[in-house]
Amino acid sequence: MGNAEMLDQTLGVIESFRKRSVIVLGDFYLDEYIHAIPLGLSPEFAVPRLLERAREAVPGAAGNVAANLAGLGCEVFAVGAIGEDGAGQRIAGLLNGLGVNTENLLRSADRVTGTLSRIVSDAPHGGSQHLLRLDQERVPSGSGGIEAEILARLGRLLPRVQGLFCSDYEESVPGTGLLSAVSVHKVASLARASGVRSLGSSRRRAALLAGVDGVIMNRAEAQLLGLSSPQRIETFAAECLERLGLQYLCITLGEEGVFCADRAERVRVPARRSELIDPCGAGDTFAAVFFAAMLSGSSLKEACRIANEGAAVVVGKHGTVPLTNEELSRQLKYGARGGGKLREPAELEALLEGLRSTRRIVFTNGYFDLFHSGHVHFLKKAKELGDILVVGTNSDRSTRENKGEGRPLLSESERIEILAALDVVDFVTVFDELTPINLIRRIRPHVLVKGGNYVEDEVIGSDLVRAHGGTVVIVPHESKTTTVGLMHLIKHASDGLRSTS
């Protein structure tokens, strides 16, 4: 199978995530980020003094796993216990906003919703540094009946799903974790009886996950379970599979990649090199993508490879941020090309909708094959017509269908990289159809721009743009350079070189 066929197959797996239904059971915490500006030392004590600038909160722990699965397109049911407090209300609201069903998050007056507050010092000229993490937890004064209630909720939900993820985040105050009160063995038995596949993760207590189908852990968690050295990892994995009754085990090893084992094989997948900005939440993202891929029929190796790509996206972001299906597809297709400017059409549609009332959106499209100065001049003129310039470029398949065999000369990845490097371009997107008509429907630009000698009515999408009050602008070519002309020059020069060699 060629690279293109393998990519299409992988993208099909990612798209199938939208057909999966998953329960996330465990500890739903609130991750809070307090951003502050350093002001030197405090006058009272020799400690850093900071001025608070902003606060933000996102779902953490099991909540981040649920948020990632929802972002990937899965139907997600959150099952757990939170307090009847502000943090509990907030995490339920945040999860609902992400599309997670929170009807089975039990509210308890004797429970404090776990809150992990991180104080982050932001440098005046960019960059940030985590200074402190403050955890708020409390052992419930009475947990009577919680296991029975959780098992009853699971019994009603399990016939509706394909997967169950058990997320144990108890790491600082013993007894605060949900799985201290709810038996994983009973949970796993219920899942098996319903034909539901299960995966578990635990910060410090992986042994309590005995009975689930698979366990995912990082190096530190594996060391707590008995991994003494990297050289013993295969022996350690075999022991874990036997001791915990697992079908498979996955260990993430940072720069050394991922090691997976089941009863029949051992798999190593190299790490995905990427820019590291903030590792917070990357483990949850890896676990969510891995599980979604396994539920979609991927092998251990393929699930690890796809999950590596997902984690590579989120470590390049600040804070705990869930992954989306569109981001994962884009990462598989283009890697880091395009940076923050490259967006999928659906993603771009949602983004621009929030900017439409205050920003003038300009759209143009083209092949941009064998990029030259004429393209630069045209794009500069296009940007002058508004505030946000969106450039659509034909995919390789679309270019080939329109231009014939031998085109494009530059792959879509190369064209994306060039377009995104231009300051005048705000967003780049790729369309696979023969024309950009569906893309124009999504973007609904205020200004549609084409270059050359077009008549307005000949411009694809002109009627759509004018129908919602937009305008169509034709920018004459300022340069005599054309792609076809360059191709002829290159061929002529090449023929000349061959004749004298």
pLDDT at 430: 93
pLDDT confidence bin for 108, thresholds 50/70/90? confident
pLDDT at 318: 75
Go through the domains of the chain in sequence order and give each one's CATH number: 8-336 (3.40.1190.20), 340-490 (3.40.50.620)
pLDDT at 339: 75
Q: Are 352 and 441 in contact (CB under 8 A)?
A: no
**% of the chain surpassing 90 pLDDT:** 68
Q: Is 218 left (phi over 0), alpha (psi -120 to 50) or beta?
A: beta
Percent helix, strand and coil across the chain, each rounded to 5?
Answer: 40, 25, 35
Parallel, antiparallel, or unpaired for β 21-26 and 163-168? parallel
pTM here?
Answer: 0.82
pLDDT at 5: 83
pLDDT confidence bin for 145, thresholds 50/70/90? confident
pLDDT confidence bin for 492, thresholds 50/70/90? low
Rounded to 5°, angle at Cα 346 from 57 and 272: 65
Residue 80: pLDDT over 90: yes
E runs forming strands in 160-247 = 163-168, 197-202, 214-218
pLDDT at 477: 77
Residue of 207, 138, 206 whose CA lies nearest to 176: 138
pLDDT: is 6 or 149 the higher one?
149
Which two three-digit tokens encode residue 235? 């022996």
What mean pLDDT is predicted for residues 22-30?
A: 96
Distance CA(202)–CA(208), nearest Å, equals: 8
Residue 239: pLDDT over 90: yes
pLDDT at 354: 86
Eight-state DSSP code of residue 318: S
User: What is the phi/psi pair of residue 472, to 5°?
Assistant: -115, 130
pLDDT at 109: 84
- Enumerate the active-site residues: 284
Residue 194: pLDDT over 60: yes
Residue 481: pLDDT over 70: no
Q: Across-strand partners of 60?
A: 29
Q: Is 99 left (phi over 0), alpha (psi -120 to 50) or beta?
A: left
Distance CA(477)–CA(382), nearest Å, equals: 12
Rounded to 5°, angle at Cα 171 from 167 and 174: 105
Residue of 215, 191, 192, 190 whose CA lies nearest to 205: 215
